[in-house]
Amino acid sequence: MSRPPLALRALPPEGASHAFGQPGGVMRRRDFAALGLSGLALPALAQDTPFDKLTEAFLEALWLLDADAAVAAGRFEFAPKITLPDTGQRALMKAYLQRSLEDFERVPEASLTVSQRMDRALLIGKIRSDLWRLYTLREWAWNPSEHNPAGPLDLLLNTDYAPLPERLTALKPRVAALPAYYRAAQASLSGVTREHTELAIQQAPGVISVLDDIARRAAEAGQAAAWRVPLAQARAAVQGYVAHLKRLLPTAKRAWRLGAELYEPKFAHDIQSARSARETYELALQRREEVLASMQVQAAALWPTVIGSEAAPADRFALIGRVISKLSERHVARERFVDEIRAQIPQLEAWVRDHDLLTQDASKPLSVRETPVYQRGVAGASIEAPGAYRPQDRTYYNVTPLDELSPAEAESSLREYNHWILQILNIHEAIPGHYTQLVYANRVPSKVKALFGNGAMVEGWAVYGERMMIESGYGASPEMTLMWGKWHLRSVTNTILDYSVHVLGMARKDALDLLVRQAFQTEREAAEKWRRVQLTSVQLTSYFSGYSEIFALREQLKARPGYSLKAFHEAFLSYGNAPVRLIAAEMLKA
C-alpha cells in the first residue's frame, strides 16, 4: 500500500500499487554482533506470549539481514546499510529461513489465538515463498531489474523522518556501497531474459536522477564537497552496470514467459488461494461471459438514446464499444479533476452510512491531496499508507493533477476516468475500498499482517466493494451498470491475460485484441498492460482471485440465520490482511 518505489514507476499501476510480501532474509539475534550492528537501537518488544516473542525476534533479525526490507517497512535507522545481492547474503538467508521455518512449524496451533494462527500461517507462507524464490525461481540470476537500489534511496531522502543533514549522514554509507552493490549484482546474473535486461537499462536514468536529487539536497545542506566523490563513484557504478547489461543483450535468450511449471507454484505462494491458477483462470473465463452478456443488454437498451436512429451492430463487441465510447465524452474539466475527487469522498461516506453497509471511523479522515511532485511519474490516483512501523504518519489519497499532460493526453485520461468510472475509482481506492479496509486492518495489532499481508485479499476487497456498491443502488442507471461492467471486466481480463500469456503462450496480437476489442480498453492502456505482463507474473491475477473468493464466501454465508450484509463486511475486515482462504475457514466455522 505504500507508494511504488521509484524504480517500479516505469510500470503502470492498476489503480494503486500495493507492495506486499517483499521477499527478504533474516538472521538470528545472536548474530547481531557478527554484523557489527549491535549498537542499533531496537524498539521495545511486545513479549506477551512465546509466539509473539518468536515473531518479534524473527522480524528484528529479518531487518538486520535485509536492511532494504527494513527501510521499506519504515525502519529508517537501517538507512546506512544496503542489502548486497551476493551469494553470501543468499546463503545466510537460506540458512536462517530454514531454521525459522522449523521454529514456526513447531509452535502448537492449540496454543494460539485466531489472529496468531493467521500470523503463523502468513509467516510460514512467507518463508516458504522466500525459499522458493531464492532457490527455484532464482529471479536474481535472470532478471537484471531485480537489482535496483533507487527505491530505498528515494524513500530515505524524501521522507521527513529526521532533519535533512541527519538523513544525508545516514545515507552516505549506503551510497558509498553502490559500487559493491553493482559488482554483486553483475556477478549474480546468468541466463538473463532480453526483456528484463532492457527494463534494467531503461530504469538506469531513474537511479541517476535519485543520485542527482541527493546532490541537490547535499548542496542545500552545505555538504556538496563531501558528497562529490561518493556520488561520482555511484554514477560510474550505474553506468558500469548498464554497459555490462548491453554486453549481455546479444546472448540474452531466456524465455520471459514463466511456463506452467513455475506459474502454479508462484500462484500458490503469492495468492494463497484455495483454488489453483488453472481453476482461477477457468472461473475468470466463465465470469467474463456473464459480464459481457449483461453489458450487451445494457448497451442495447442505451443505444437509441446515446447513439440515435442508426441501426445497432449485431456484433456484441462493436455494440458495447460504441456506446461506451460515446458515453465517455461525459467527464469533468481537466482543471477540476482533483477537486471533483475531493468532493466525492464525503458523498461515498454518506452513502455507506445511510445504506448500513459498514461502520466507518470518523476519527480517521482521509486526506485527499495532489501527488507530491517527486512521486509523480504515472498519472492516476492511489492510497499512500505509512509503513508498518510508522502508524503515526497520515494516510493520503494522492491524486496526480492532469496539468502536465498535452491536451490530447488529458482528453484520453479524462475519457478513461469519465463521469462514471471516476466514481468507481474512488470506491476502489477510498470508500469502501482500500482506505476503509486499511482502517479496519490497522485495528488488528499485528505487524505480521501489516508487513506480509495478502495482496489478493486487499485487491479482492476493493473489487468486491465496487460490486457491492453497485448492488446497493449507488449511481443506479444503465450507464453506471455498463461502465462498472467495463471496469470489472478489466480485473477479470487481467487474470485471463496473465495465465494465457505465461502458461498458454498467447501471442502479442491476440493479447492486444483481448484488451482493446474485447475489453474496451484504449490502445495505450493495452500497450502498457502488455509490457506489464511481460515483466511481471501472477500479480495481475490477485484482483479477480481475491474478489471471487470473497464473493463466494458471502453467498455461502447468506443462507445462515442472523446474516446481515453489514455484519458480514465488518466480520470479514476484522481479520486484517489475511488470505481470504484463512478468513473463510474461520467465518464458516462459527
The nearest distance, CB 462 to Zn ion, in angstroms, is 5
- Using CB atoms, what's the residue nearest to Zn ion? 15
The nearest distance, CB 268 to Zn ion, in angstroms, is 22
The neighbour count for residue 476, using CB atoms within 10 Å, is 10
The nearest distance, CB 181 to Zn ion, in angstroms, is 32
Taking CB under 5 A as the binding criterion, the range among 353-361, 369-377, 457-465, 574-582 that sits at the site for Zn ion is 457-465
- How far apart are alpha carbons 390 and 368 in whole angstroms? 19
Helix, strand, or coil (residue 377) = coil
For Zn ion, how many residues bind (rule: CB under 5 A)?
4
Taking CB under 5 A as the binding criterion, the range among 13-21, 58-66, 295-303, 401-409 that sits at the site for Zn ion is 13-21
The nearest distance, CB 543 to Zn ion, in angstroms, is 7
Rank residues 15 and 151 by Cβ distance to Zn ion and give the closer one: 15
Cβ–Cβ under 8 Å, residues 241 and 186: yes
Does position 4 interact with Zn ion (CB under 5 A)? The reply is: no
The nearest distance, CB 494 to Zn ion, in angstroms, is 11
The nearest distance, CB 523 to Zn ion, in angstroms, is 17
Cβ–Cβ under 8 Å, residues 213 and 257: no
The neighbour count for residue 362, using CB atoms within 10 Å, is 8
CA atoms within 13 A on the CB side of 427: 24
113: phi then psi, degrees, rounded to nearest 5: -75, 170
The nearest distance, CB 434 to Zn ion, in angstroms, is 6
Helix, strand, or coil (residue 335) = helix
- How far apart are alpha carbons 78 and 66 in whole angstroms? 9
Taking CB under 5 A as the binding criterion, the range among 10-18, 114-122, 137-145, 357-365 that sits at the site for Zn ion is 10-18
String of contacts with Zn ion for each residue 76-115, x by CB under 5 A: ----------------------------------------
Rank residues 18 and 217 by Cβ distance to Zn ion and give the closer one: 18
The nearest distance, CB 433 to Zn ion, in angstroms, is 7
Rank residues 119 and 429 by Cβ distance to Zn ion and give the closer one: 429
Rank residues 59 and 425 by Cβ distance to Zn ion and give the closer one: 425
Does position 15 interact with Zn ion (CB under 5 A)? The reply is: yes
DSSP state of 369: E
Taking CB under 5 A as the binding criterion, the range among 9-17, 35-43, 77-85, 239-247 that sits at the site for Zn ion is 9-17
- How far apart are alpha carbons 584 and 442 in whole angstroms? 20
The nearest distance, CB 429 to Zn ion, in angstroms, is 7
Rank residues 68 and 498 by Cβ distance to Zn ion and give the closer one: 498
Taking CB under 5 A as the binding criterion, the range among 8-16, 92-100, 250-258, 400-408 that sits at the site for Zn ion is 8-16
Cα-trace Rg, the chain: 24
Rank residues 171 and 410 by Cβ distance to Zn ion and give the closer one: 410
Rank residues 330 and 558 by Cβ distance to Zn ion and give the closer one: 330
The binder of Zn ion chosen from 107, 451, 462, 573 (CB under 5 A): 462
Rank residues 16 and 283 by Cβ distance to Zn ion and give the closer one: 16
Rank residues 77 and 459 by Cβ distance to Zn ion and give the closer one: 459
Between the CA of residue 438 and those of 155, 366, 469, 551, 552, what are the distances in Å? 21, 11, 18, 19, 22
- Where does residue 472 rank: exposed (0-12), middle (13-18), buried (19+ CB within 10 A)? middle
The nearest distance, CB 381 to Zn ion, in angstroms, is 10
Rank residues 143 and 437 by Cβ distance to Zn ion and give the closer one: 437
- Where does residue 493 rank: exposed (0-12), middle (13-18), buried (19+ CB within 10 A)? buried
The gap from C-alpha 147 to its chain's centroid, in whole angstroms, comes to 19
- How far apart are alpha carbons 318 and 357 in whole angstroms? 37
What residues pair up with 14 in beta bridges, in sequence order? 16
Between the CA of residue 386 and those of 19, 149, 267, 369, 394, what are the distances in Å? 12, 20, 27, 15, 7
Taking CB under 5 A as the binding criterion, the range among 93-101, 254-262, 356-364, 458-466 that sits at the site for Zn ion is 458-466
Residue ranges that bind Zn ion, judged by CB under 5 A: 15-16, 459, 462
